[in-house]
Amino acid sequence: MPREKFQTLTEQMFYILICLQTERCGIDIMDMVKKMTDGRVNVGPGTLYNLLEQFMDERIIAFTKSVGKKRSYIITDKGRQLLEKEYVRLKQLTNDYESFIKE
């Protein structure tokens, strides 16, 4: 049985969706991820635009406008649910760590 697409998110996916809580274009997303993670997570243009296309195909984000070459996007309700689900999963991981490793 094939694994469901976006069952879990990579760090890049997670931070891109966080950035899209408000409308942003690609360069703004890349800059915000870098700033938000203090440079720990880098999203290059190839990765970013590939993920944005996949997210749009799955209706996780929506295209909002185009100004010159800049295209802007925003997260959808489906995307917010996916992001929340991943947040809960990550919290469970840290809770498990604290319960079993730090005992």
Per the rule left: phi > 0, alpha: psi between -120 and 50, beta: everything else, 39 is: left
- On the question of pLDDT at 1 being above 50, the answer is no
| 79-97: average pLDDT | 95
Our measurement of the distance from residue 38's CA atom to the centroid of its chain's CA atoms, rounded to an integer in Å, reads 16
pLDDT digits (tens, 9 = 90+) for 22-62: 999 999 999 999 999 999 999 999 999 999 999 999 999 99
Residue 2 pLDDT class (50, 70, 90 cuts): very low
CA-CA distance, 103 to 90, in Å (whole number)? 20
DSSP designation for 12: H
| 72-101: average pLDDT | 95
Instruction: Please name each of the domains of the chain with its CATH number.
Output: 11-100 (1.10.10.10)
